[in-house]
A and B are shown apart, each in its own frame.
Chain A
Amino acid sequence: MVVALALGAAASSARPGHAAGESPAERPLFLSLAVGPAFGYESRSFDGGSPGASYTGWAPALDLAVGRRVRRGLVIAGDLQLAMIVNRTESYLGGSYPLTDTLHFVDTLGALVDYTPWSHPRVHFGGGLGLMAATDVDTHMGSTDTNWGWALSAHAGIRRRLARGWSIGVMGRLTLYRFTSDTPPPSATSLGLLPVLLVTFTR
């Protein structure tokens, strides 16, 4: 997280390169804060043929992006998205089992590209690529387990300008991620989808 945000900050502190015709109101520093609900779906398969399972659950999500407007309408940023799925439900062999007193964090950290078309200045869309960490926390037993993988995301949203260069908006993001785990055996591969609806505050 620190590395990505530092990259974003470094990008923002570099000498801004104004593109020809750039609006004077468009600052080189891009900063975005967003919060909203997410719904996690994850499937897990095991090496060795044991039956896999799928998991679903709701999560609060938080997103922070820091970057730079490299040219009109185009932003490159470092992005950190945190989602905490509470008490997931496991579907396994036809049954559903609540995973009570558990948290499943799906945290992604990567680079983000966001584009605002000249013709539709309220609309923006883009995508990202990065690393992800899946952390299971048992709040009752106190155990934690973190596994690493990668994440791809796509987003689109609208925003409206407020005062002092800030904008407020709504954005939908769909994150696809994959991670593997080796302990405890057997090895397992998890593939997840995390749709998020975010209220964004952008500057």
Chain B
Amino acid sequence: MDRDLLDRFRTGDESAVKAVYERFRGPVFAISMTVLHDRGLAADASQQTFMKAWQAASTYDPERELGPWIYAIARRTAIDIYRKQMRSVVSDEVDSTSPPPALDTIWEVFEVRAALDRLSDEERQVIKLSHFDGLTHVEIAEHMDIPLGTVKSRSHRAHQKLLELLKHLEET
């Protein structure tokens, strides 16, 4: 994100907050779902995350990356809601016997989703059909009604871009 936008975000500028929301709504909702396993609670967590980010925007240092700052707020917000759910007497929303996911996992989900959101729609669809739906290239070609060769080249390109965007995960 460019410096001008980050500076405007820091002042609470609504258009900048919207741009930040668009950039990070996917990763924030993904980690909220990872922690809470419930769309309603995850929606609340996402809304609270961006509200807190907006409220604390003046404390954000534009010299630092925005992603980890948003991530820290989102993770803490989701875990706070998770703990609150654990304290409630009856909870149908969360399996009270399961601990929250490991911090490494939450961070990976945030980073992977952020990377996925930077792919084109077509590239992201191929990755999803491959890894989430478990389809083969032939099945993807049938599903998308495109030639097998196109699927292969698109898949290769999508994976290369995704891996490039996630290079830093290996280092950490």
Our verdict on whether A and B bind, yes or no, reads: no
Interface residues of B (CB under 8 A from A): none
